[in-house]
Amino acid sequence: MAKPKSSPKHVAVIMDGNGRWAEMRGRPRLVGHHAGARRVQEIVKACPDVGVEYLTIFAFSTENWKRTQREVSGLMRLFRKYILKEAKALLQAGVRVRFIGDRIKLDEKLVRMMDDLELLTADNTKLHLTVALNYGGRDEVTRAVQRLAFDVSQNKLKYTDVDAEVLGKYLDTRLLPDPDLVIRTSGEARISNFLLWQSAYSEYEFIDTLWPDFTSEEFKAVVGRFGTRERRFGAVKA
């Protein structure tokens, strides 16, 4: 497929439906998460073909700790396995990897692997892949406000200088542009605490396909549709 006329520079994805995909097959939910991880590879590869420079994926939310211990620890194991297995391929493909979310609750070994992968790929520029892990929009804004308030208390910042741009610099996403397009798979039409601040003017696509069935062809088609949307950002069409 040719590059769409107007590509979204930053696409964010809520990868949903792994559990249902597995349950429909009478398999444990973790089987669905493994199938979902394989899809990530495919979508990452597809991004440069369609002009997407930033891809942000929701891997684990601050609310996902409410799941069974078995599922949570299986997911954490999967994240470690994914980093170990894919680090070299990501490096060679020119992908710069970043993680957003609160690392404090994650196990030390995983955090070390995340840090190492960020460092390893720090010079890459072909695709900026951001993985949201233990991420929640409210949690992110709360942590940002805490740091901001601390800086005010230390006289590093005047409270009257705080505006949206300043607050944005305290967010985990400070180095990323806002997402142009947010895709959620699995038919759920909600944002589940994903990029609340950053998606103020994003376009949304809610797709029925379950994440493990979401092919690069379908991804490219969704990205292609973006070019037909008219974004007004609150203004009247010229």
Which residues in this chain contact ligand IPE in the complex, by CB under 6 A?
14-20, 58-61, 64, 75, 186, 188, 190, 192
The angle, 0 to 180 degrees and rounded to 10, between the axes of the packed helices 69-92 and 108-120 is: 20
Residue closest to ligand IPE, measured at CB = 19
- Say whether 193 is catalytic: no
Identify which of residues 73 and 146 has a Cβ nearer to ligand IPE in the complex: 73
Identify which of residues 16 and 140 has a Cβ nearer to Mg ion in the complex: 16
Residue found by looking up tokens 């308030």 in the block: 149
Tokens standing for 62?
């601050």
**16 lies in the binding site for Mg ion (CB under 5 A):** yes
Stretch that binds Mg ion, among 16-24, 106-114, 199-207, 216-224 (CB under 5 A): 16-24
- Distances, alpha carbon 141 to alpha carbons 9, 129, 152, 154, in Å: 23, 21, 16, 20
Q: How far is the CB of 22 from ligand IPE (least distance, A)?
A: 8
- Say whether 16 is catalytic: yes
Stretch that binds Mg ion, among 9-17, 56-64, 71-79, 83-91 (CB under 5 A): 9-17
Residue in 49, 64, 102, 178 annotated catalytic: 64
Other CB atoms within 10 Å distance of the CB of residue 44: 21
Closest CA to 211 of 72, 15, 12: 15
Q: How far is the CB of 206 from ligand IPE (least distance, A)?
A: 12
Q: How far is the CB of 16 from Mg ion (least distance, A)?
A: 4
Report the partner that residue 99 touches, choosing among ligand IPE, Mg ion, none (CB closer than 5 to 8 A by kind): none
Contacts 24+ apart (CB under 8 A), 166-173: 167/141, 167/197, 168/197, 170/144, 170/145, 171/140, 171/141, 171/144, 171/197, 171/198, 172/100, 172/101, 172/135, 172/140, 172/143, 172/144, 173/56, 173/100, 173/130, 173/140, 173/198
Q: How far is the CB of 40 from Mg ion (least distance, A)?
A: 16
Q: How far is the CB of 61 from ligand IPE (least distance, A)?
A: 4
3-state secondary structure of 227: coil
Stretch that binds Mg ion, among 14-22, 32-40, 54-62, 117-125 (CB under 5 A): 14-22
What number of CA atoms fall less than 13 Å from residue 174's CA on the CB side? 11
- In the complex, the residues that contact Mg ion under the rule CB under 5 A are 16
Catalytic center residues: 16, 64
